[in-house]
Every structure is written in C-alpha cells, then in structure tokens.
Amino acid sequence: MYVRFVTPLRDRMTGAETGFFRASWYLSRTGCPDWIRRELDGQFDWFNDYLPIPGRVSRHFKRRGSIYGVCWFHPAARECIERARYCAWLIGEGGVPVEAIKLRRPREVLWRDDHQIVVRPTTDTPRAFAGRHFGLN
C-alpha cells in the first residue's frame, strides 16, 4: 500500500491534509527546539539528495481548469518511508501532529517514479484528521 504522512494543516490548492515536508515550515514559526530543526534539516538534506522532485504535481486544462495532486510513497521505497516516519515523529515532538495514512489503489495518477506517486485527492481519499481541529493556521 502507498503511504503518506499528513498533518491537520490543509493545502489550499487540493484541500488535502498537508504532508510533512510542507508542514515543516510551521515549526520554524512556532519556535520549536533547535535540536528538532537540526535533525529535520539533516533528514531533508538526505531527501534532497535521494528523492527526485516530482516531474508533475498538477495538470491544466482549458475547459476543466486545473487539478492538483499530492505525493504518496511507493511501498517499495522503504528507506524513504522510514526516514519520513522519523521526520513525522520529529514534527510531532515540535507540536504539529503527524499521522500515516495508506492508499490501496490510487486513482488518477498524475506522475510516478520508483519512490513515489502523485495522485489527485478525491472525496474517498483517506484522511487522518477529518473533523478534528487542532487550532493550527
């Protein structure tokens, strides 16, 4: 199954729960401990070196408008998932809750590589924080 680590923060383009990469900026605004920021920086350096940036995260149509996707780790990307799990723990220690969600069969894949896929979120996309509010802006 594909896996994604999400926070209660919402992406304004997709309406989906933001992933841990996107939500990490929030920690710098909340004054999280330096050790967390240093650990995250080290992990993000690894991701920058070994995880390709998706070639496409959206599609644009003249009549339909645009659709935007969110990233999921491929089940075979074990090291990425383990590092993401550690980042999720760090971000949680910094005050932003992070939970893992899983997707069995992705629909409308916008892009893929050996490590991840970009999928358009739908109403039946799994959510971790549906209906729960944490006062995060």
> Is 108 a member of any domain?
yes
**First vs last C-alpha separation in the chain:** 30
- Among the listed residues 59, 55, 66, 72, the one whose alpha carbon sits nearest the alpha carbon of residue 117: 72
- Give the single-character DSSP code of 134: -
Residues spanned by the domain of 34: 2-119
Does the residue 128 lie in any domain?
no
Q: What is the pLDDT of residue 31?
A: 82
Task: Yes or no: say if 128 and 101 are a contact pair by the CB < 8 Å rule.
Answer: yes
Number of domains in the chain: 1
- pLDDT tens digits, one per residue of 85-113: 999 999 999 999 999 999 999 989 999 99
Pairwise CA distance, residues 44 & 136, whole Å: 23
pLDDT, one tens digit per residue, over 48-86 is: 999 999 987 888 887 878 888 999 999 999 999 999 999
